[in-house]
Every structure is written in structure tokens, then in C-alpha cells.
Structure 1
Amino acid sequence: MTVSIAVDPDDLRAHADRARAVAARVEDIAAGGGAPSDNAVGHAAIADAVADVRRASRERADAIAEQLDDAAAYLDGTAVSVELLDRLLSIF
């Protein structure tokens, strides 16, 4: 009996790294600020919105990266288990 897993744990880790890179890019863009506004209240609202997007992006990227890392670790363990099961079944 042979079982193959189509998802490569390294691919998942690469996606996790990409999610972190996207969050870092959003952080860089947000840190760059924008054109000053004549309306201080409007400028403050824009700054608050940028901060909210930054935080949400970072939190979401961290959550996605963590899930992908967990999935990669699970698949690493599953691959070992499947290989062991295959060897055990070949005995019988």
C-alpha cells in the first residue's frame, strides 16, 4: 500500500514566509505615512485607519503563518507515520 501526500511541507512554509513578507510590506507602507492634510481631524482619522489596517494585516498574517507552519509540521509527522505504516503493512 502506498500513500502519497500532494502537499509539500516546504511549500506551506514558503506560503507562511510570504504571508509574513506581505505583512511587513504593509507595515512599511503604513510607516511611510502620507501627504499631510490641512484637516487635522481627517489626517488623524486616516492615521487611525492605517494603524487598524496595519494591525489587522499583521495579526492575520501571523495567524495564517502559524496555521501553515502547523500544517507543515503535521505533514512532516504524517509522512513519517505513513512510511512506517507502509513498512509494517509490507511485512504482512
Structure 2
Amino acid sequence: MVFEHLEEKEAVEIAALIEKNGFAFYSILADKTKKKSIKAVFKKLAKDERRHMKILEDKYYPEAGFGEQITEEELKQLLETKTNPIAYDGFEPSGELHIAQG
């Protein structure tokens, strides 16, 4: 099987990517579909994918060793208060920027 040798962090990254792609896919279908009943199904599926992503972020990101994420407002505050902030790409599935406070 393709996934049998994955480390936990890799598995969480792949799962997150699948959920994000599923959300994008169903959202596009919902936008393009004109029939209300079908549109509702695609919107529900997109909502389910977003809920799955939230579960991964809340429960499995910390367990798999992903760092904390901060809000845009917290980032602005950090950048305003730190004289020499260090920023790096944490290689998270979300692609979000993480700030090392040092």
C-alpha cells in the first residue's frame, strides 16, 4: 500500500491537503451548479471538508508536531513589538507563516 510507511506528520499533511482540495473542489462545483438541490449537496460536502480540516488542525496538528499558528492580528502585533523578528516558512500544509520569537 502506498501510505503504509508514512510518518505521522506526513500522514497529517496529506490528510490536510486532501481535505483542502475537497473543500475547493466542492465549492467550485457549488458555484457552477445552477440546480438548487445539487448546489445544496455540494455546499454540504464543502462544509464537511472544512469541518474535517478543523478537526485535523485542532487535534492532530499539535499531536503530529506542527507549531502553533497565530492570527493575522497577532502577527501584526508581534511585528510591531519585535525589533528584529525572525520569520521562516514552517512548511505547514496551510502554507501559513510562523514567527520564531527569539
TM-score normalised to structure 2 length? 0.46
Q: More strand per residue: 1 or 2? A: 2
Q: More helix per residue: 1 or 2? A: 1
TM-score normalised to structure 1 length? 0.50
* Bigger relative contact order (CA 8 A; separation at least 6): 1
Structure 1 or 2, whichever has the larger Rg, is 1
